[in-house]
Every structure is written in C-alpha cells, then in structure tokens.
Amino acid sequence: MTTARRPGPYNFVFPVILDPLTGRILLVRRREPAGPCWTVPKVPMRAGATFRRAAMQFLRRRRQLPPVRIAPVVGRLFAVDDVDKRGYVVLVLPADGSWKDRPGRMLGPEARWWAVSELRSERATVEPPQMLDLVDGYWEGWLPDGEVSLV
C-alpha cells in the first residue's frame, strides 16, 4: 500500500500580481455562497518545489505572463479553519518595471486591477484578508525584507 506524499509544510502559493506604476493589485473574482469575493490565484505546490518556482511556473508557463520577479517580501499564511491548508503569499512584479501586456486577460475575464484604497472604500470581500495589509506595507515601504507571518 502506498500513501500519498504531501508537498511539505506548505501546500499552496498565492502569487499577488502588482503594478508598481499605478499602485494596483490584480485580483480575480470568485463566487462564494456568501457572495462574491476578490482573490489571487491559489497555486498547488508539488513535492519538493519552492514557493518561488511554483509561482513562476504558474505565471510564466500556464498563464504566459511576460518576465516577472518575486519581490523580497514573502508571507506565510495559515488557514484558521484547517492547519493543512498553509501557503506562501508572494508579491509578483514585472521584471522591467511595467506590464507591456495586460496580465488581467491572462487570468481570465473575471480579473480586475484594484487599488487597495478602492477595495477598502467599497468594502469588497478579499481572500485572504491579510493580503491588503501586506500590499499596503509593501507600497509604503514599512515591511521588512524576508518572510513575514500573515496570521
């Protein structure tokens, strides 16, 4: 009898696509029983893969985005209801400073660019909710380089 191998301590990576020229974040609309919410892609990690590699493979190979870079700020996210659903949140920026193509089209028709202030003023539901603080901290420069916990 074989047992399923777990990918390690983290099961998912959440790539947060940012536009540094406009200060916006790319989110995808997801329909939930409680109503629509805005989120980032949830990318499963393979056994032995790093969060950077999983994010890059999803964005470059599966979504065919132009060259990207992972910002130095990476967050660990633990689901409150299920310890096994842990993941990394990584900030993704264009490699050359601007998006020449429109990455929103590559994530589907439900994708939209948002400013964090718009999301807050419209009281939009965002998953994971800690993501807005992470993005604000990055834009304002008060987050340290390296890993931060989002719990």
5 within domain boundaries: no
36 within domain boundaries: yes
93 within domain boundaries: yes
149 within domain boundaries: no
Which residues in 32-47 are b (16+ Cβ under 10 Å) and which e? eeeeebbbbbbbebee
70 within domain boundaries: yes
What pTM did the predictor assign?
0.78
Domain span at residue 38 reads 12-142
Which residues in 76-92 are b (16+ Cβ under 10 Å) and which e? bbeeeeeeeebbbbbbb
Q: Report yes or no: 30 and 37 within 8 Å, Cβ to Cβ.
A: yes
Give the CATH number of the domain where residue 97 resides: 3.90.79.10
40 within domain boundaries: yes
- Tell me what pLDDT residue 75 has: 67
Quote the CA–CA distance of 96 and 151 in Å, as a whole number: 32
112 within domain boundaries: yes
18 within domain boundaries: yes
What is the total count of domains within the chain?
A: 1
Residue 4: Cβ-neighbour burial (10 angstroms; 0-12, 13-18, 19+): exposed
Return per-residue pLDDT of the chain as tens, 151 residues.
Answer: 444 444 455 578 888 888 888 888 989 998 877 778 898 888 888 878 888 888 888 887 777 777 778 876 666 666 545 555 567 788 888 877 667 667 667 777 888 889 999 999 999 998 877 788 888 888 887 766 556 655 4
Helix (H/G/I), strand (E/B), else coil: 53? helix
